[in-house]
Amino acid sequence: MTNHTDATPDRTPWWRPIFAHPAALPTLILGLLAARIGWHAFLSDITLVEDEAHYWEWARHLDWSYYSKGPGVAWVIALSTRLFGDSEWAVRLPAAVSTALGMLGAAAAARWAFPGRRELPTLSALLYALIPGFAISAMLMTIDAPYLACWMWAAAFATGAILRARHRLWLGCGLAIAAGFLFKYTILLLVPSIILAAWTTRHARPPLSRPGDGGA
């Protein structure tokens, strides 16, 4: 009589090992960034839309603030056009770079929230890029792309500070909010949400075992 042992089937999704690979996240972010830059620089013949032209005009007359927005959008466009010249792709370059930074922020938030799930940072970055509004903002240089990147990093730093008790990350959260304020003042609405999250999860936070662990 032969004993048959039923093997447990492997239920791991096919994509999980791919997304968990150390090269997956940088390949995704840098690949999309290069594709967007290449499209704008070599393939696109789309001229600046009204808002882009408006902000480009601001960038040609730098100031500490403007009648409807902070100076952030003008500053980043000015930096790009001074480096690469006055062209459509140079005006739009900060949008592509900001979206790449936002994807990295989404990955950081996933890593701090679920440290044992190596595939989630790449998946989170991909989902960030696939959100329709975010994808559109990556192709047009308006307030949105850099503002969303600042928002994402503020949320990511807050996630690490709250869930992992890494209190030095609060500095990063504050700097991200301050940077976002230069683009759009409504980033201050994130502050009450962070305070509420910190308050409601206060009993579930990991304790500090010794002085200095919070900044690890």
Q: Which residue has the higher pLDDT, 69 or 79?
A: 79
Q: Is residue 5 part of a domain?
A: no
Is residue 52 domain-resident? Answer: yes
- Residue 204 pLDDT exceeds 90: no
Helix axes 169-183, 144-163, angle to 10 degrees: 160
Q: Is the predicted pLDDT of residue 107 greater than 90, yes or no? A: yes
Q: How confident is the model at residue 203 (pLDDT cuts 50, 70, 90)?
A: low
| Per-residue confidence (pLDDT) for residue 212, from 0 to 100 | 43
In a domain, 212, yes or no: no
Report the alpha-carbon distance of residue 61 to residue 127 in Å, rounded: 36
The parent domain of residue 142 ranges over: 22-203
Q: In the predicted model, what is the mean pLDDT of residues 139-167?
A: 94
Q: Which residue has the higher pLDDT, 69 or 30?
A: 30
The Cα 40–Cα 92 span in angstroms is 8
Mean pLDDT of 45-64: 93
For residues 214 and 8, the model is more confident at: 8
Among 102, 87, 177, smallest CA distance to 144 is for 102
What string of H, E and C letters represents the secondary structure of 161-186? HHHCCCCCHHHHHHHHHHHHHHHCHH
User: Is the pLDDT assigned to residue 53 strictly greater than 90?
Assistant: yes
Please report, for residues 85, 86, 161, the alpha-carbon distance to residue 56 in angstroms, rounded to integers and kept in the order given.
Answer: 12, 9, 37
Q: Is 182's pLDDT higher than 80? A: yes
In a domain, 13, yes or no: no
Q: Is residue 181 part of a domain?
A: yes
Q: In this predicted model, which residue has the larger pLDDT, 28 or 15?
A: 28
The reported pLDDT for the residue numbered 211 is 42
The per-residue pLDDT for range 5-22, each reduced to its tens digit, is 555 666 778 888 888 899
**More reliable by pLDDT, 149 or 117:** 149
Residue 90 is assigned to a structural domain of this protein: yes
Domain annotation covers residue 51: yes
Q: Is residue 17 part of a domain?
A: no
pLDDT band at 213 (very low <50, low <70, confident <90, very high): very low
- Domains identified in the chain, total number: 1
Examine the pLDDT at 79 and tell me if it is beyond 90: yes
Mean of the pLDDT values across residues 57-65? 93
Closest CA to 75 of 182, 167, 188: 182
Which pLDDT score, from 0 to 100, does residue 4 have? 53
